Amino acid sequence: MKKTIYPVIYTALLILSGTVLLSSCRKDLLEQQPTTEVLQTEFWKTESDATVALLGAYASTRPCFDRDYYYDGQAEYTRVRGTSTTSGNLRLGDAYNGGSFGPSGYGGAFDKMYRYLFGAVNRANYVIDNINIMIASNVGNRGNLEVLIGEAKALRALAYFRLISMWGDVPYFTKMQSSVATEANKEMLSQARVPIGQVRDSILLDLQYAIDKLPVKAPSLGRLAKPAVIALRGKVNLFWASWKKNGWPELEGFTQDVSAANAAYAAAAVDFKSVINDFGLGLYMGGDPGYIGQLGTADTLPNYYHLFTPKANGNPEMLFVFTHGGNATNQGEELMRDFAGRSHEGSQCWVSPRYEIADRYQSLTTGDFATKLVGMNPTKVANARTAANSAVNPQSYANRDYRMKSTIQWDYETSIGMISLQSTGWCPFIYQTWAAPVTINGVNYLTYNTDGVNSGYVFRKFVRNYAGQGRSDGDFAWPVIRLADVFLMYAEATNETSGPQADAIDLVNRVRRRGNLPVLTGAMTADKDAFFKAIEQERIVELIGEGQRAFDLRRWRAIERVWGGPGTAGVWRNDTWGDNKERYYQNTADRTYEQNYIFRIPPSERDLNPNLTQNKPWR
């Protein structure tokens, strides 16, 4: 055995920190008694020990999901700068490090994520194995320990769901891997890929166990409870239904099956409906839009904005989250660092909205799309700042979905600048300026300092509008599953089997209400295709920046619909000044599309395990 590729539990402290070890060892070393692992004889004596270990499993899973916003760069409405995930720009050892987050050519860049996801599986198995030993030894309360096993199995299911969503068939492990020579390690080094259907069945079994054992309310923020696991099971079935309906030709041996798709859609709908109706859950602030300030101000922002700040931590819309610490914990989220610019604690603006997202925000008057914005260069067009529908005219953004102001900033929109944990006052964004002096209504400002955007917009979503925390010290609880997504997934699942249904239409309208939009028009719910477009529209504007869109495009097989098929001219991404910035999928070969639908099994894993086959497009 050349090396160990999965994390190993060392001490209770390392369990909590989620530290990952990649060790090299010779066979003779593997024969020795480990000196760096917490042994059964020294640990696993109490329910408290078991809980500490479970929290370690959460800590190991979090780095695989808490920066999923990067995946939005693989779709069409968010740009992730090409150097954002290179070494040094992420936390040491981050699972996203080295990933490719552009709209194409990304499928071969997630070897590290593959390993980290299996590391999360291994931590879950470690917990499950040892708690089962406790139960067999009559240590602790059986019922309490089974709840902990339920959480660990749900975490294992979450990790495997992401694995099959990216790689299809993968090895399936139910025993902990270690740095010592064990039968489990021999299995690891010879395990062939298990067909996706079998892995999916195992995921559903884990989730069923968790549903049976978990309480309705989690014991603390960031822990799993019954509604979250039911929602996750619904999502697994929804994805399975999408794959079965639309096919996955890049996955060898996978077959389309309309009957199986409809059964999975129906099962997903049952779970989503249970989450919606059975637990007294609701959208943040009752789904009310709240209040919106005047153009150019940010002292009053709609409720949707506040949902993505720490003040909303613990609200019932967030069904499952990964928690973060605040200042000086070394466990902070990096949302401001990734979404804001230098004017905000020296943030680096790795993630920004593309120009095309603005036209997705609908009119408050009609509830439908407004006249398309027109890019104009204010240094060349004299009336660019006042022309109707000009993308650099602030008035063009008036009377739009409240989520627009909550999510993006356009020219002359403001946010709070920050340095050394102190506010520097309001900071107006003006594209193509960097910390430049500007006078607005008689008040002097320095403009938002960022050259990290090429669209004319920056994000407001996830950017804290108050000082006091460093750029990497946020304590926002990152949402993995939230209720608004469940509303939209329920609508999608029922629409696939039965067309537009009254309760599904109502749920989509409840999501739209937080944007202060009118209800869907009759034309938007006239038939299955029209309602799907309405659901997709809400998924775009409601979930932007949350890592959902690229996975949606792949499961719907919609990459060609968005970017054009093989050999076509491709699609330009533009900016508010009317310039073409980047073109994607120009004269792209079929093989590139195939490689974007399924990811490459890491070559290093195949070197270790000769029984691992490779996905077809990567041979």
The per-residue pLDDT for 554 is 98
The per-residue pLDDT for 31 is 38
The per-residue pLDDT for 176 is 78
> 């190993």: which residue's tokens?
8
| Interval 123-173: pLDDT, tens | 999 999 999 999 999 999 999 999 999 999 999 999 999 999 999 999 999
User: Long-range contacts made by residues 397-401, C-beta under 8 angstroms, separation at least 24?
Assistant: 397/295, 397/358, 398/295, 399/363, 399/364, 399/365, 400/361, 400/362, 400/363, 400/364, 400/370, 401/361, 401/362, 401/364, 401/515, 401/516, 401/517, 401/541
The per-residue pLDDT for 344 is 97
| Interval 481-500: pLDDT, tens | 999 999 999 999 999 999 99
SS3 24: strand
R_g over Cα of the chain: 24
C-alpha distances in Å from residue 74, one per residue of 48, 156, 584, 597: 42, 25, 11, 11
| Interval 39-69: pLDDT, tens | 666 899 999 999 999 999 999 999 999 999 9
| Ordered domains of the chain (ranges, CATH) | 3-214+599-618 (1.25.40.890)
The per-residue pLDDT for 600 is 98
Q: How many percent of the chain have pLDDT more than 90?
A: 88
Structure-model confidence comparison of residues 117 and 94, the more confident one = 117
Mean pLDDT of the region 449-456: 95
| pLDDT at residue 10 greater than cutoff 90 | no
| pLDDT at residue 245 greater than cutoff 70 | yes
Selection from 601, 615, 607, 619 nearest residue 110 by Cα: 601
Cβ-based burial of 444 (10 A; exposed 0-12, middle 13-18, buried ≥19): exposed
| pLDDT at residue 501 greater than cutoff 80 | yes
| pLDDT at residue 597 greater than cutoff 90 | yes
Mean pLDDT of the region 449-454: 94
| Helix 111-136 × helix 142-167 angle, to 10° | 160
Mean pLDDT of the region 461-479: 95
Q: Which residues pair with 418 in a beta bridge?
A: 344, 423
The per-residue pLDDT for 90 is 60
| pLDDT at residue 606 greater than cutoff 60 | yes
For residue 586, give the DSSP letter: T
Mean pLDDT of the region 242-268: 98
| pLDDT at residue 14 greater than cutoff 90 | no
The per-residue pLDDT for 125 is 97
Q: Which residues pair with 80 in a beta bridge?
A: 351
Selection from 438, 542, 434, 429 nearest residue 487 by Cα: 542
At 195, is the pLDDT very low, low, confident or very high (cuts 50, 70, 90)?
very high
How far is 506 from 517, CA to CA, in rounded Å? Answer: 13
Query: Following CA atoms 478, 364, 501, 508 in sequence, which dihedral angle do they give, to the nearest 10 degrees?
Result: 10
Decide if 38 contacts 9 (C-beta within 8 A). Answer: yes
| pLDDT at residue 378 greater than cutoff 90 | yes
Decide if 280 contacts 197 (C-beta within 8 A). Answer: no
Residue-averaged pLDDT of the chain: 92
The per-residue pLDDT for 533 is 98
| Interval 393-429: pLDDT, tens | 999 999 999 999 999 999 999 999 999 999 999 999 9
327 Cβ contact list (under 8 Å, min separation 6): 421, 468, 469, 470, 473
Letter string b/e over residues 282-291, b meaning 16 or more CB atoms within 10 A of that residue's CB: ebbbebebbe
| pLDDT at residue 217 greater than cutoff 90 | yes
At 88, is the pLDDT very low, low, confident or very high (cuts 50, 70, 90)?
low
How far is 598 from 12, CA to CA, in rounded Å? Answer: 37
| pLDDT at residue 24 greater than cutoff 60 | no
Q: How many percent of the chain have pLDDT more than 70?
A: 90
| pLDDT at residue 565 greater than cutoff 80 | yes
How far is 425 from 565, CA to CA, in rounded Å? Answer: 48
* Structure-token pair, residue 150: 């339920």
At 33, is the pLDDT very low, low, confident or very high (cuts 50, 70, 90)?
very low
The per-residue pLDDT for 190 is 87
Q: Whole-structure pTM over 0.85, yes or no?
A: yes
How far is 459 from 492, CA to CA, in rounded Å? Answer: 28
SS3 189: coil
At 35, is the pLDDT very low, low, confident or very high (cuts 50, 70, 90)?
very low
| pLDDT at residue 205 greater than cutoff 80 | yes
The per-residue pLDDT for 7 is 33
The per-residue pLDDT for 42 is 82
> 């917009």: which residue's tokens?
457
| Interval 166-191: pLDDT, tens | 999 999 999 876 655 566 566 678 89
| Helix 226-246 × helix 142-167 angle, to 10° | 30
Structure-model confidence comparison of residues 547 and 184, the more confident one = 547
| Interval 257-299: pLDDT, tens | 999 999 999 999 999 999 999 999 999 999 999 999 999 999 9
Q: Transcribe 504-534 into DSSP letters.
A: HHHHHHHHHHTTTPPPPPGGGGSSHHHHHHH
* Structure-token pair, residue 594: 């195939």
At 439, is the pLDDT very low, low, confident or very high (cuts 50, 70, 90)?
very high
The per-residue pLDDT for 93 is 63
